[in-house]
């Protein structure tokens, strides 16, 4: 099953009144548990990687695993950067394979939130990647007790939300209507009237952060009023930790694999409970039909050099690899030299774009224009360049 376009996935959920879970993963146990739950209940799923967790794992390594698991899954999957803090982190996430981005500047004054979010949406749109912004402030720390949250809730208003979406161009909006990240004491009071008003004003898929601790009825009322994506982590973390505590009490001298035994299944059971409760269970087939596969483009150039030596050509390509791989939407830049001396073309570039939209934005990107005009085209008059859409797995 290919990774699928997240805009189509969330629009399907919004139109059909269910919510897709965006489950934050922090290890391979979480990844496997989340994917196996989605497969058991034939649910679309969002693998979510939160920037606030990057101290706990290597983002690049876990992204590679998430992408591989998504490609092998039998259900539609999307991969999301959660709580991205800057333009740089959004570019890094896209170039590592995220096909949806959250930019979170909700703790900043409105004008600064709008300015950063707009920068991210402009960059991401040129890569074909949808963006979630957040307006209003959802306090708390995922995985922690909610009373440790820094700051108070700031509620989203419908008027500000309309202006924010108009000025930033976000595809999905995370709203603050009473949830907090992390473990809450007592039942949160949700302002459903406020949510209804925001939904009527915007008519785009809405997102709830701080899913842990809400009642079944609260989830249903959120979904009835436009919530199509629910971010969820603390309850998964607590299920994993509870499993480990029980392993330790059964066997206090057990090694790592004994202490973590069963974590994957505990995470999976809680994920499955959410998928059934939020109505995404059973929607995998419909989402596959309603979405486009997320398939990359290979930008292939074969060329000969005329005025420089082979070793100078290799130096020029090494410089190009460093410059071009930092451009938004570029997955990799590979270069090669023909094995046979008499090959019709001696050298090649293989530049992988995340999406066909990058064909234009890459061509016009100032770093690409400078490299191509100053270092590449003057020495490589004899060349062929073709963009190939790659088949999805
Ligand atoms: P909880 O940890 O409260 O479930 O919230 C998760 C979240 O919102 C991640 O973005």
pLDDT at 93 (0 to 100): 98
Q: Given the CA of residue 180, which atom of ligand 1 is nearest to it?
A: 3
**Rounded to an integer, what distance in angstroms lies between the CA atom of residue 149 and that of residue 64?**
32
Report how far Cα 336 is from the mean position of its chain's Cα atoms: 31
Examine the fold and report which residue of 263, 290, 317 is the final residue of a domain before the chain moves on.
Answer: 290
Q: Given the CA of residue 181, which atom of ligand 1 is nearest to it?
A: 3
CA of 82 from ligand 1 middle (Å) equals 10
- 333 found inside a domain: yes
- 114 found inside a domain: yes
Residues 212 and 301 in one domain: no
pLDDT at 331 (0 to 100): 97
Binding site membership of 106 for ligand 1 (Cβ less than 6 Å): no
pLDDT at 44 (0 to 100): 98
Question: At 70, is the pLDDT very low, low, confident or very high (cuts 50, 70, 90)?
Answer: very high
- 94 found inside a domain: yes
pLDDT at 150 (0 to 100): 56
pLDDT at 139 (0 to 100): 75
pLDDT of residue 105 exceeding 60, the answer is: yes
pLDDT of residue 123 exceeding 90, the answer is: yes
Examine the fold and report which residue of 256, 272, 290 is the final residue of a domain before the chain moves on.
Answer: 290
pLDDT of residue 145 exceeding 60, the answer is: no
pLDDT at 152 (0 to 100): 76
**Rounded to an integer, what distance in angstroms lies between the CA atom of residue 38 and that of residue 284?**
9
Beta strand 131-135 pairing with 140-145: unpaired
pLDDT at 138 (0 to 100): 83
- 171 found inside a domain: yes
Residues 215 and 324 in one domain: no
CA of 80 from ligand 1 middle (Å) equals 14
Residues 306 and 329 in one domain: yes
**Rounded to an integer, what distance in angstroms lies between the CA atom of residue 117 and that of residue 140?**
21
Q: Given the CA of residue 140, which atom of ligand 1 is nearest to it?
A: 3
Whether residue 133 contacts residue 174, with contact meaning beta carbons closer than 8 Å, is answered with yes
- Arithmetic mean of pLDDT over the chain: 94
Query: How many Cα atoms occupy the beta-carbon half-sphere of 55 within 13 Å?
Result: 1
Give this prediction's pTM.
Answer: 0.95
> Count of H helices and E strands in the chain?
15, 14
Q: What integer is the mean pLDDT of 174-191?
A: 84
For residue range 85-101, what is the model confidence (pLDDT) as tens digits? 999 999 999 999 999 99
- 1 found inside a domain: no
CA of 210 from ligand 1 middle (Å) equals 4
Residue 49: CATH number of its domain? 3.20.20.70
pLDDT of residue 393 exceeding 60, the answer is: no
Q: What is the DSSP string of 154-171?
A: B---HHHHHHHHHHH--S
For residue range 274-303, what is the model confidence (pLDDT) as tens digits? 999 999 999 999 999 999 999 899 999 999
Q: Who has greater pLDDT, 180 or 375?
A: 375
Closest CA to 97 of 361, 387, 330, 301: 330
Q: What integer is the mean pLDDT of 220-249?
A: 97
**Rounded to an integer, what distance in angstroms lies between the CA atom of residue 176 and that of residue 209?**
8
Whether residue 81 contacts residue 98, with contact meaning beta carbons closer than 8 Å, is answered with yes
Closest CA to 98 of 22, 211, 203: 22
Contacts for 240-244: CB closer than 8 Å, 24+ residues apart: 240/29, 240/30, 240/266, 240/267, 242/266
Domain count of the chain? 2
Question: At 151, is the pLDDT very low, low, confident or very high (cuts 50, 70, 90)?
Answer: low
Examine the fold and report which residue of 269, 290, 311 is the final residue of a domain before the chain moves on.
Answer: 290
CA of 238 from ligand 1 middle (Å) equals 12
Q: Which helix (H) or strand (E) holds 289?
A: helix 284-290
Candidate from 25, 80, 212 with most ligand 1 atoms within 8 A of CB, to mutate? 212
Binding site membership of 209 for ligand 1 (Cβ less than 6 Å): yes
> Which residues, 6+ apart, have CB-to-CB distance to 86 below 8 Å?
116
Binding site membership of 211 for ligand 1 (Cβ less than 6 Å): yes
End-to-end alpha carbon distance in the chain: 7
pLDDT at 181 (0 to 100): 80
Whether residue 82 contacts residue 100, with contact meaning beta carbons closer than 8 Å, is answered with no
pLDDT of residue 390 exceeding 60, the answer is: yes
For residue range 319-340, what is the model confidence (pLDDT) as tens digits? 999 999 999 999 999 999 999 9
- Local structure of 387: helix, strand or coil: strand
Q: What integer is the mean pLDDT of 294-316?
A: 95
- Local structure of 341: helix, strand or coil: coil
Tokens of 64: 């590679």
Give the rounded percent of residues in the chain with a pLDDT score beyond 70: 96
Closest CA to 45 of 61, 33, 29: 33
Q: Catalytic: 72?
A: no
Q: Given the CA of residue 182, which atom of ligand 1 is nearest to it?
A: 3
Report how far Cα 317 is from the mean position of its chain's Cα atoms: 31
Tokens of 237: 């973390």
Q: Who has greater pLDDT, 140 or 291?
A: 291
Domain span including residue 43: 6-290
Residue 385: CATH number of its domain? 3.30.70.100
**Is the four-CA dihedral 339, 344, 347, 351 of positive or negative sign?**
negative
Binding site membership of 237 for ligand 1 (Cβ less than 6 Å): no
Q: What integer is the mean pLDDT of 43-54?
A: 97
Only one residue has tokens 């300015």, namely 115
Question: At 391, is the pLDDT very low, low, confident or very high (cuts 50, 70, 90)?
Answer: confident
3-state helix, strand, coil in the chain (%, to 5): 45, 20, 30
């Amino acid at each position: 099953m290919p990774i699928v376009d997240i805009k189509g996935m969330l629009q399907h959920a919004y139109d059909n009144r269910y919510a897709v879970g965006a489950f934050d993963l922090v290890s391979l146990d979480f990844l496997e548990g989340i994917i196996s739950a989605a497969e058991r209940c034939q649910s679309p799923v969002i693998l979510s990687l939160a920037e606030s967790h990057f101290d706990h794992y290597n983002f690049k390594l876990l992204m590679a695993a998430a992408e591989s698991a998504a490609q092998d899954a039998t259900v539609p999957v999307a991969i999301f950067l959660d709580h991205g803090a800057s333009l740089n982190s959004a570019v890094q996430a896209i170039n590592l394979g995220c096909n949806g981005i959250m930019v979170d500047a909700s703790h900043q004054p409105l004008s600064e939130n709008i300015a950063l979010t707009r920068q991210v949406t402009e960059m991401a749109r040129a890569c074909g990647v949808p963006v979630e912004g957040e307006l209003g402030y959802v306090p708390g720390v995922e995985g922690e007790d909610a009373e440790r949250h820094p700051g108070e809730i700031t509620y989203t208003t419908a008027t500000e939300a309309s202006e924010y979406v108009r000025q930033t161009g976000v595809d999905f909006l995370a709203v603050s209507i009473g949830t907090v990240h992390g473990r809450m004491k007592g039942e949160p009071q949700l302002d459903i009237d406020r949510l209804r008003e925001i939904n009527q004003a915007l008519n785009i898929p809405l997102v709830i952060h701080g899913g842990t601790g809400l009642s079944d009825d609260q989830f249903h009322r959120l979904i009835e009023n436009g919530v199509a994506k629910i971010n969820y982590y603390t309850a998964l973390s607590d299920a994993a930790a509870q499993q480990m505590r029980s392993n330790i009490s059964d066997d206090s001298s057990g090694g790592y694999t004994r202490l973590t035994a069963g974590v994957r299944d505990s995470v999976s059971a809680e994920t499955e409970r959410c998928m059934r409760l939020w109505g995404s269970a059973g929607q995998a087939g419909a989402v596959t039909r309603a979405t486009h596969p997320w398939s990359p483009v290979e930008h292939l150039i074969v060329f000969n050099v005329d005025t420089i030596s082979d070793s100078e050509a290799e130096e020029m390509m090494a410089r190009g690899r460093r410059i071009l791989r930092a451009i938004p939407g570029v997955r990799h830049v590979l270069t090669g030299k023909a094995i046979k001396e008499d090959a019709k073309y001696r050298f090649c570039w293989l530049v992988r774009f995340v999406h066909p939209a990058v064909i234009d934005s890459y061509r016009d990107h100032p770093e690409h224009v400078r490299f191509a005009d100053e270092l590449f085209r003057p020495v490589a008059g004899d060349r062929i360049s073709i963009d190939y859409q790659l088949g999805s797995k």
